[in-house]
Structure 1
Amino acid sequence: METASIQFLKSLAKNNHKEWFDANRPKYEAAKADFAELVAAVISGTGKADATVAALQPKECIFRINRDVRFSKDKSPYKPHFGASITRDGRKSMYAGYYVHIQPGNQSFIGGGIWMPEPGVLKKLRQEIDYCFDEFSSIINHKKFVAAYGAPERSAEYVLSRPPKGYEADNPAIEFIKLKSLVVSKLIPDEMLTQKDLAKQIVASFGTLQPLIAFINRALE
């Protein structure tokens, strides 16, 4: 991405109010177009290995910069980052997909999976993990996958305290069956954001992620 785009996000984080944003709207529009160009390149590259996202347009994937403050104590009107969900059917899709998050301050990351799906969707995924645990294990324990993403995230809000109904505590897959989200991520350092091969590096990382995305989406189909 362009240095000016990163600088816009840094400035926004320090001036998160409508008056500043309105005065700097041309800079926002330029930064937004720059991010859309990155997303387009990532879609193009990722689509060669994952045909389900090949026809997406950036506008179908990029989230609005405006925050929904209705239920938040933080009333800042704008997100200090750009985000895009590259998922079949676009950002509102029920399917698993890839995510790009650009936020200066070494808070940028890429990753993917499926986040807090509906109960019926989660039930299908748990069943697939249970029935095909050897295949699932081979995907998340592959050395390239582990090197890129480590293990699926296990934040407290993502994990049930007890096995879900219908599953025993001694099930070999139980630690994954208890997950309410199945997501992985990889940090992007600030110095990487303006590198010319940023899109290429993201595409390579998404290639490593693709088998997990395919596994999840097969369960949902």
Structure 2
Amino acid sequence: MSNTRTILNYLQELQENNDREWYHAHKEERKEAEAAFESFLEDLIVEISKFDASIPLLDPHTLTFKMVRDTRFSHDVSPYLPAFRAHIAAKGKLPIPVGYYIVIKPHQETMICGGLFADMFQDATMRIRNYLNEHGAAFDAILSDPQFASYFQLKGTKLKNVPRGYDKNHPYGDYLKHKSWYIEYALSDDLVKNDMKFLQKSAELCEIIKPFNDFLNTALVGFEMPKRQ
């Protein structure tokens, strides 16, 4: 069982001392927190695999994202994002196929998320829109499920109007306006500090997310990530 209190304590200190000197001077604390996060991911993957057969027993280390921020085009020049992040999906941390996105961040900003956050893959957007055009009622049923709706509301970048090529009066036209489709739910610091309860709640939320992810992944069958130039 991971020590999630260690994770939050380190991130809180980094948030208060967000500079390179402090970051490098506290390497051991960072390593301890990273190990605790990977331990949590390992436990969560086991729980997810109980209801989602598409998720293999992945190496948690391969699922995490770097804390270093790109500050070139930002007014915020703090060098690090004080959060631990990971994406658990059939192909690891690639954005597609979609999976379960985990963010641990202090001050009630820990999130359990699902869906497609990226909006730059035009082929992915087109595939989902085409699938929604024919199966909008099924998507609406997922979003309207009482248990799902008690935690999640659809988010994502979207157009002002239904895009060309689709009926502007489509009954689910609002879903067609989207360029990305994702959901997220925030958890309190107090919950995160309780290892067992945090694991149980995270797994519960991921199970609720699964039909949403399944719908998007069905739409995305055949999508290939663009090759880097």
C-alpha offsets along residues 61-93 of structure 1, whole Å, 9 cap, x if unaligned? 111111222332322221111111112212124
What letter corresponds to residue 183 of structure 1 in structure 2?
Answer: Y
Aligned partner of 2:215 in structure 1 is 215
Task: Find the aligned partners of 2:61 and 2:48 in 1 and give their Cα distance.
Answer: 16
What letter corresponds to residue 207 of structure 1 in structure 2?
Answer: E
Aligned partner of 1:142 in structure 2 is 145
C-alpha offsets along residues 35-86 of structure 1, whole Å, 9 cap, x if unaligned? 1111111111112221222232212211111122233232222111111111
Task: Find the aligned partners of 1:146 and 1:84 in 2 and give their Cα distance.
Answer: 24
TM-score, structure 1 normalization: 0.93
> Is residue 127 of structure 2 the alignment partner of residue 127 of structure 1?
no
Cα distance, 1:135 vs. partner? 1.3
Work out whether residues 16 and 76 of structure 1, in 8 Å CA contact, stay in contact via their aligned partners in 2: yes
Cα distance, 1:96 vs. partner? 1.3
Work out whether residues 95 and 117 of structure 2, in 8 Å CA contact, stay in contact via their aligned partners in 1: no
Task: Find the aligned partners of 2:171 and 2:62 in 1 and give their Cα distance.
Answer: 39
Q: Percent identity?
A: 26
5+ long unaligned stretches in structure 1: none
What letter corresponds to residue 65 of structure 2 in structure 1?
Answer: F
Cα distance, 1:202 vs. partner? 0.4
Work out whether residues 10 and 33 of structure 2, in 8 Å CA contact, stay in contact via their aligned partners in 1: yes
Work out whether residues 48 and 54 of structure 1, in 8 Å CA contact, stay in contact via their aligned partners in 2: no
C-alpha offsets along residues 175-212 of structure 1, whole Å, 9 cap, x if unaligned? 00101111111110111011132112101111011011
Aligned partner of 2:24 in structure 1 is 22
- Listed as ranges, the matches of 1:134-213 within 5 Å are 134-149=137-152, 151-153=153-155, 158-197=157-196, 198-213=198-213
Task: Find the aligned partners of 1:38 and 1:23 in 2 and give their Cα distance.
Answer: 25
What letter corresponds to residue 111 of structure 2 in structure 1?
Answer: F
Task: Find the aligned partners of 2:4 and 2:185 in 1 and give their Cα distance.
Answer: 21
Aligned partner of 2:59 in structure 1 is 57
Consecutive aligned runs of 4 or more in structure 1 exceeding 4 Å deviation? none
Q: How many residues align?
A: 217
C-alpha offsets along residues 9-56 of structure 1, whole Å, 9 cap, x if unaligned? 111001111110111110000000001111111111112221222232
Work out whether residues 108 and 187 of structure 1, in 8 Å CA contact, stay in contact via their aligned partners in 2: yes
Q: Give secondary structure in 2 for the equivalent of 1:90.
A: coil
Work out whether residues 46 and 54 of structure 1, in 8 Å CA contact, stay in contact via their aligned partners in 2: no
Larger mean CA deviation between 51-60 and 15-24 belongs to 51-60
- Listed as ranges, the matches of 1:41-120 within 5 Å are 41-117=43-119, 118-120=121-123
Larger mean CA deviation between 7-16 and 60-69 belongs to 60-69
